[in-house]
A = this chain, B = another copy of it.
Amino acid sequence: MSDDVDARLKLLGIILPDPASPLGAYVPALIAGDMLYVSMQGPIQAGRPTHVGRIGDAIGIDAGRAAAEVATLNAVAQIRSALGGFDRLDCITRLEGCIACTEDFKDHATILDASSELLAKLFGDRAGHARSVCGVRNLPGNVPVAIVVTARLRSGQGH
């Protein structure tokens, strides 16, 4: 199973980033029972934002989708780091998105689809997630999009 995800990453030419350090007094990911809770991830590479500003203003749709993809890979890197691979992952249960955007922005779904589609490519039938998204005023460090991924582990494999 893990080989599937690693093989897909390779096919897509994706090298996962190192999992980012938390911005404060919390953990980047937490295993509790049969659940994995990943802290909010943004479009950060090597400790710096790849995009800043609001979608609909400084950031267009394509750049917003690119930012969502960077955030998603950060979440995937946290999953791999927390689980030591992808074998233990049963499925992604939730994807929560926050989009920092202009007042009249409506295309939240288009932005977050970049994240959902990437999860589908990587995790196949383990990607299926319930989703929510809202348009917020701003996000930590002025990034345009941030996501929260929650996942379920295969049973009998929690702590």
Q: Tell me the A residues contacting B by CB distance below 8 Å.
A: 22-30, 32-35, 37-40, 90-91, 93-96, 98, 100-101, 103-110, 112-113, 116-117, 120, 128-142, 146, 148, 152, 155
Q: Is the interface of A mostly helix, strand, loop or mixed?
A: mixed
Question: Inside 8 A of A133's CB, which chain B residues have their CB?
Answer: 40, 140
CB distance from A1 to the nearest CB of B (A): 16
User: For A131, what are the chain B residues with a Cβ–Cβ distance below 8 Å?
Assistant: 22, 24, 26, 39-40
Which among B22, B32, B94, B139 is the interface contact of A37 at CB below 8 angstroms?
B94
A98 to chain B, nearest CB (A): 4
CB–CB B138/A106 < 8 A: yes
Copies of this chain assembled into the complex? 3
* In contact, A33 and B30 (Cβ under 8 angstroms): no
On whether the beta carbons of A26 and B103 are closer than 8 Å, the reply is no
Contacts of A90 on B, CB cut-off 8 Å? 32
Q: Do residues B33 and A152 form an inter-chain contact, with CB atoms below 8 A?
A: yes
Can you name 6 extra interface pairs (CB under 8 A) apart from A32-B91, A33-B34, A103-B137? A25-B116, A40-B132, A106-B141, A108-B139, A109-B141, A134-B138
Which residue of B has the minimal Cβ distance to A106?
A: B142
Question: A105 to B134, alpha carbons, bound, how many Å?
Answer: 17
Measured in the bound complex, the distance between the Cα atoms of B120 and A32 in whole Å is 17
Q: Kindly list the 6 A-B residue pairs having the minimum CB-CB distance in the complex, ordered from nearest.
A: A40-B132, A37-B130, A25-B116, A26-B131, A135-B138, A24-B113
Provide the residues of chain B in CB contact with A96, threshold 8 Å.
132
